Amino acid sequence: MAAIIARVGPCTLEPESQGFVTLVDSIVSQQISVKAANAIMARITALVGEVTPEQLLRRTPEELRAVGLSNQKARYVLDLAAHVADGRIDLAAFPQCDDDTIVAQLTAVKGIGRWTSEIYLIFALGRLDVLPADDLGLQQAAQQAFGLDHVPKSVELRLIGESWRPYRTIASWYLWRSRRMV
């Protein structure tokens, strides 16, 4: 890791202030390119204005499909909006909750799994000890960084990451950034 840190430079990871938007973006981004996800998020913003649960719930799945969401992702985004709007998920309370509690609440929403929850912990809440071991990009970065002859699966990556506690988020960030430099 020392060589990666020296090459990448200081960590500039900062949490985003819009937790709900981070979750919507995470759903939109699932299994598509960053460029495609950014384009869809821009169209969603153009459609609803400020991306809030209330604004999204004013839209139909068909309207969300028209801006590029699949039928399934449109349902997921609306389910998330409903969970937040009716109080089943209280994003304002999350900073005081432990990671496992947050993951349990978020994964109750259709379309939000462990990976999306971990991305939220990192990029919305700024948690320092999160290792999204199911992230393929992170797995590939670990393969490159450690000269492995295979892409490590999540179980192996979690074992490797134990030595990074309590800063697994920072190590993950450096691994992600190292891929951009190749």
125-179 pLDDT, tens per residue?
Answer: 999 999 999 998 999 999 999 999 999 999 999 999 999 999 999 999 999 999 8
pLDDT bin (cut points 50, 70, 90) of residue 181 is: low
Q: What is the 3-state secondary structure (H, E, C) of the chain?
A: CHHHHHHHCCCCCCCCCCHHHHHHHHHHHCCCCHHHHHHHHHHHHHHHCCCCHHHHHCCCHHHHHHCCCCHHHHHHHHHHHHHHHCCCCCHHHHHHCCHHHHHHHHCCCCCCCHHHHHHHHHHCCCCCCCCCCCCHHHHHHHHHHHCCCCCCCHHHHHHHHHHHCCCHHHHHHHHHHHHHCC
Residue 99 annotated in active site: no
Catalytic residue among 98, 134, 135, 149: 135
Top CATH class, 19-123: mainly alpha
Query: Where in the chain is CATH 1.10.1670.40?
Result: 131-180
Given the candidates 3.40.50.1220, 1.10.1670.40, 3.50.50.60, 3.30.300.340, the CATH classification of the domain at 131-180 is 1.10.1670.40
Mean pLDDT for the stretch of residues 60-70 = 97
Query: Where in the chain is CATH 1.10.340.30?
Result: 19-123
